Amino acid sequence: MGSISHRNQEDALESADSTVWFRSYLHGGTSSLISTLTTVITFPLYKTVFRQQLHSTLVREAVAQLRKEGLAKLYRGVVPPLLMRSLNGTLLFGLQDTFLQQLSLWDTSPVPSGALPALAGLGAGVVEAVLFTPFERVQNVLQNSKNDSSLPTLRSILRKLASSPLASGYYTAFLPILVRNALGSSLYFGLKNPMSDTLRAFGCSPVASSFITGVLNSMVISLPLYPLSVLVANMQAQVDGGVRGVKDSWQQLWAARQRRLVLLYRGGSLVIFRSCVTWGITTAIYDQLKRHSR
């Protein structure tokens, strides 16, 4: 009788854990889906920055390029980031919570309990890189106007990438994406709760503290990792012309930017601003949903 009761308690705890996991995925997906509105609104801004990353042009030159191409092509490449953004939040928050609960079950762990959210975020970032590198690859090919004539449609791009080896097709620039996403996710989840608790201690409301946490977190992450995004954009935008390794691609990019950090960060302020707003909204919505579900 006692063993049956104990088994029932274990089943109840397992069911409760499953419910918590499901809510984490649901809340992450919902918050990201709502924040995709900012993706739609700011996509022309993002595309302008992409041209700066690719060609190291001034803002007015990038805008002139987009204006010359016309309004019909302004939103070419918007579908992959919309899909990626919606699925990204679902998996990122859900997987991090799943990994965190699993890590918390360890009786003896060499990692301090305060570092477990960051470690779980690192794992979620690795999975994120594996799943979403193809989305980013397609997006960058679509946004490069030099591919418009040879690859005019999404179907032609998918067919072209599918016919290539993974390293030069869908998974071009996987290593820098892996480093960027894993470090970014680890920092985000490692800093999120301590930063939010500090803001609450200074009298911020829960919603305000969550929004500010998302903004500050994004700024801390985006500033040092922005060069990796520039490297990824330059590696993934080309379809033909040979496959370069990360080292060769970085050396070529650094030389093209005249070995000046300021040119490498050209357009960075716009990307970081957009990222801060998006993650501020996402964090605020996610935390609000999580509080209401308790």
Q: Where are the domains of the chain?
A: 15-293
With a pLDDT cut of 70, the percent of the chain lying above it is: 83
Tell me the three state secondary structure of residue 49. Answer: helix
pLDDT given at position 20: 58
Backbone angles phi, psi at 198, to 5 degrees: -65, -45
Q: The tokens 């470090």 sit on which residue?
A: 183
Q: Is residue 8 over pLDDT 60?
A: no
8 Å CB contact between 121 and 95: no
Average pLDDT score over residue span 269-287: 86
The yes/no answer on whether domain 15-293 falls in CATH 3.90.199.10 is no
Average pLDDT, the chain: 82
User: CB-based contacts of 235: which residues, under 8 Å, 6+ apart?
Assistant: 172, 173, 176, 244, 246, 249
8 Å CB contact between 207 and 288: yes
Condensed to tens digits (0 to 9), the pLDDT of residues 26-60 reads: 777 677 666 666 666 767 776 777 777 776 777 77
pLDDT given at position 13: 40
Q: Is residue 131 over pLDDT 50?
A: yes
Average pLDDT score over residue span 212-232: 94
pLDDT given at position 17: 53
Largest Cα separation within the chain, whole Å, is: 78
Average pLDDT score over residue span 158-166: 91
pLDDT given at position 175: 97
Closest CA to 272 of 196, 217, 218: 218
When pLDDT is cut at 50, 70 and 90, the band that residue 174 belongs to is very high
pLDDT given at position 62: 76
Average pLDDT score over residue span 164-189: 95
Backbone angles phi, psi at 166, to 5 degrees: -55, -40
Question: Residues of 108-128 as b/e, b for ≥16 C-beta within 10 angstroms?
Answer: eeeeeeeebbbbbbbbbbbbb
CA distance 62 to 40: 19
Neighbour count for residue 242 (Cβ, 10 Å) = 7
When pLDDT is cut at 50, 70 and 90, the band that residue 269 belongs to is confident
